[in-house]
Amino acid sequence: MQLSRAVSAYLEQLADVRLASVHTISSYGRDLEQFMNNVGDVVISEIDMRQVRDWLAEGYASGWSPATSARRLSAVRGLFRFAEGAGWCETDVTTGLKPPKPRKRLPRALPPEQTQMLLGEDAETSERDMALLAVMYGCGLRVSEAVGLNIHDVDLGAGELRVLGKGRKERVVPIPALAVELLEAHWSQRLGHADPSQQAMFLNRSGGRLSTRSVQRMIKKRAMQTGADVSTTPHTLRHSFATHLLAGGVDLRAIQELLGHASLSTTERYTHLDINRLTKVYDEAHPRARRQS
């Protein structure tokens, strides 16, 4: 079976049997066309692992991202498993091949003075936006968690938020004093304008629930107004919350609970941002850290 015919049959099977999306079929089609341009329209049983591996290595060296490399390996792997099942080749030559690991990006955090700039009093910024900024940074919320807050999730008397996180897991987080004050100001303003039946804590101009996109635009505008880093995003505030807690000596397990991370390894990424502090603690506390006099 020629490679071109095998590719056509595989893409038809994806569409008709596996009901893959149009986007997937289009992407796999382009990937397999590139592979065919590299190895030639040969009999599929004559292709070996080395040819697939070399194609992936050349592409990665030319600038493919880890995600692109992984998708292209997935496309070729699916083709060969299909071909093996159809009896066009004896083995799946992609067995054992692994895509490159994605580059690990350390989370970026704002210096404390820049978070103070974002949260500073400003007559041009609405009570809603100030409260939203204070809650996102002060409680370490994801933007989806912030816009998903309902009235009954906020207990200003107890100074607590009930947050619905990933996997619909609930957690309760404390609200800092500044955020409580700003939420009270927002609540007073909200009572006079909102439809009583609307449960969302943060509303847009039409009275509906605020969108994540609107929050992203607001934070960027606020950063430009205050002179903070204009690349600041909602997630930057969350990373800053965790980093500043760590710098203040808060236990990593406690930060994990506050962030709603399922695994401590996810939270541990934040320690890289404060390596200077950890090194200083080590030097001061470890008995073998310094040369003996």
Query: Which position among 142, 190, 239, 244 bears the catalytic label?
Result: 142
Could you tell me which of 45, 38, 32, 46 has the C-alpha nearest to residue 4?
Answer: 32
Buried/exposed code over 118-135 (b: 16+ C-beta within 10 A; e: otherwise): bbeeeeebebbbbbbbbb
Q: Is 261 a catalytic residue?
A: yes
Identified catalytic residue from 72, 128, 238, 244: 238
Tokens 């990424």: give the residue: 269
Cβ distance 231 to 238 under 8 Å? no
Rounded Cα–Cα distance for residues 148 and 115 (Å)? 23
d(CA 103, CA 169): 28
**Candidate list 166, 213, 272, 280, residue with the active-site label:** 166
Structure tokens at 32: 């397999």
Asked if residues 80 and 89 have their Cβ atoms less than 8 Å apart, the reply is yes
Active site residue 244: no
Q: 3-state DSSP call for residue 62?
A: coil
Give dist(CA 1, CA 16) in Å, integer. Answer: 21
Annotated catalytic residue within 71, 220, 235, 277? 235
99: left (phi over 0), alpha (psi -120 to 50) or beta: beta
166 is a catalytic site residue: yes
- Catalytic residue set: 142, 166, 235, 238, 261, 270
